Amino acid sequence: MKFRRRNTNIDIDLLWDLAKRKPDEAEAYLDAHHEEWEQIAQEMPQDAADILEALDEEDAADLLTDIDEIASAADVLDEMRPEAAADLIEELPATSAARFIERMETDQAADLIGALASDQRDAVIEALTDKATSAVMELLAYPADSAGGMMTTEIVTLPIGITAGDAVEILRRIHDRLGSNLSYVYVIDDEGRLLGVVSFRDLFFSHPESGLKEVMITEAVTVTPETDRKIVSDLVQKYRLLALPVIDKDGILVGMVRFEEAMEAATAEAAEDIAVSVGAGAEESLFTPISISIRRRLPWITFNLLIGLLIALVIEPFRDTIRQLPVLAALMPMVALLGGNTGAQSLAVVIRSMAVGDLPSGRASRAIKREFYVGAANGVVVASIAAVISGAVARDTVVGIVVCVAVLINLLVAGLAGAGIPILLRRIGLDPALASNIFLTMITDIVGFGGFLLTASILL
């Protein structure tokens, strides 16, 4: 992450808004005002990245190559999402792309290269210098959702046998190449094993003659390259860390995961849960190839078709009841809709609680009971309102009673299903978010339509 001080009269917000609404006009303006674009890229790479992401890939690539300083262009690429940066890079010759990527932060460069199409990836890697290739390939060897895939190898290390004053002098000399990795100093032995961690604040406020051993924290929170990203983000939040050191099985320091990477991982986990709960691919985005998206979604859409046929089979035996009182056909969707909404609320609460660690297995029954009580309370209120409205619309009190009973039952079932489905999936070893919404919809629709028509057949 690069931080710059805004010292410009350029209305960035207006320019970004133009890029989102009329990207062609924004590109034409920046192309005609090179000095302004150069200033934005140098002083506000985050804003420059937002603008490029809003433009067509070809136009964005042209603007990137218009930046005079390669370092500034690399800073802009650092701030872009890897998938968007990859689309832009694919518009450039491999040799030109390699020049930018070599100046990027290693972890961001690895993410970008990992998002390239396989043929373009090979061409770019071949065009990189041996040093850059080695650094990037080291990170690409780890899964993207692991600490190794998130970490940067650009870390600040100091030997154990020096004083705090010596350490400060060393840091002053290498200040220009520290980049944004200014969170902590890692103290290592001659073999590179992690011995302790010192924050920059503690180091600079320590007595110059104090040894690093006296200043550092020896019991540092660490992870291995194989640690799942969810655990990494949980640790960063739990201990309020700005960075988390990554060590191998021998205790050798291999990198660190920065705070912003951990937060991006937490956001990605939440987004995956949302996508998976409705049957989309966990890692799918707007940049995913169409063929892959089709393969990931089609099975669940087909499953939805089967659910629809099952609901039709539930409704079919009651066609005489509907024929006798057609108003029932108009009221059926309302009952199912109320159940679906109630269940979705319970589902969201439970999955969120699981994601942040607030729902251990021992509290599962408590969560189900809670959602049942909430569903019951809401069911009484909503069912009463629905009964009055439905009775007035149908001009039949009994129809109102039917709706009241059906809505109450469906909301009770929806609360139980919304809480129970993710808990059940977790208990059998599956992802709690795994198409939970699809299973919930199946239950609330069957109970909503079937329960409503069965009640109507009994009372009417």
Q: How far is CA 74 from the centre of its chain?
A: 24
Measured between its terminal Cα atoms, the distance across the chain in Å is 67
Cβ atoms within 10 Å, residue 278: 14
Residue 67, C-beta contacts closer than 8 angstroms, at least 6 positions apart = 37, 38, 41, 73, 76
Q: What's the pLDDT score for residue 287?
A: 59
Q: What's the pLDDT score for residue 3?
A: 38
Distance from C-alpha of 451 to C-alpha of 406, rounded to nearest angstrom: 6
Give the H/E segment covering residue 28.
Answer: helix 23-32
Q: Following DSSP, what letter does each residue of 53-108 receive, concatenated? A: HHS-HHHHHHHHHH-S-HHHHHHHHHHS-HHHHHHHHTTS-HHHHHHHHTTS-HHH
421-to-345, 374, 430 alpha-carbon distances in Å: 13, 17, 11
Sorted by where each begins, the domain ranges of the chain are: 12-141, 157-262, 290-459
Indicate the SS3 state at residue 401: helix
Q: What's the pLDDT score for residue 177?
A: 61
Distance from C-alpha of 183 to C-alpha of 65, rounded to nearest angstrom: 32
- Give the chain's count of helices (H) and strands (E): 24, 5
CATH topology of domain 157-262: CBS-domain (3.10.580)
Q: Which CATH number fits domain 12-141: 3.30.70.580, 2.40.50.100, 3.40.640.10, 1.25.60.10?
A: 1.25.60.10
Task: Please give the structure tokens belonging to residue 460.
Answer: 């009417």
366-to-85, 168, 198, 373, 416 alpha-carbon distances in Å: 46, 54, 43, 11, 11
Q: 163 phi and psi, to 5 degrees?
A: -90, 170
Q: Do the bridges between strand 157-159 and strand 184-188 make them parallel or antiparallel, or are there none, so unpaired?
A: parallel
Residue with token string 């080695």: 134
Cβ atoms within 10 Å, residue 82: 19
Task: Classify residue 47 as exposed, middle or buried by CB count within 10 Å of its CB (0-12, 13-18, 19+).
Answer: buried
Q: What's the pLDDT score for residue 277?
A: 55
Q: What's the pLDDT score for residue 1?
A: 41
CATH superfamily of 290-459: SLC41 divalent cation transporters, integral membrane domain (1.10.357.20)
pLDDT in tens, the chain (460 residues): 443 444 456 788 888 888 888 999 999 999 999 999 999 999 999 999 999 999 999 999 999 999 999 999 999 999 998 989 999 999 999 999 999 999 998 889 999 999 898 889 999 999 999 999 998 999 999 998 899 999 998 888 999 989 999 988 888 877 666 555 567 889 999 999 999 999 888 888 889 899 888 889 998 999 999 999 889 988 998 898 989 999 999 999 999 999 888 888 777 666 666 555 555 555 555 656 777 777 777 887 888 888 889 988 999 999 888 888 888 888 988 999 999 889 888 888 887 777 666 677 777 888 889 988 998 999 999 999 999 999 898 888 999 999 999 999 999 999 999 899 888 888 887 777 666 778 888 899 999 999 899 988 888 7
Do 157-262 and 290-459 show the same overall fold? no
400 and 459 Cβ atoms separated by less than 8 Å:
no
Q: 182 phi and psi, to 5 degrees?
A: -105, 25
**Which residue type sits at 307?**
I
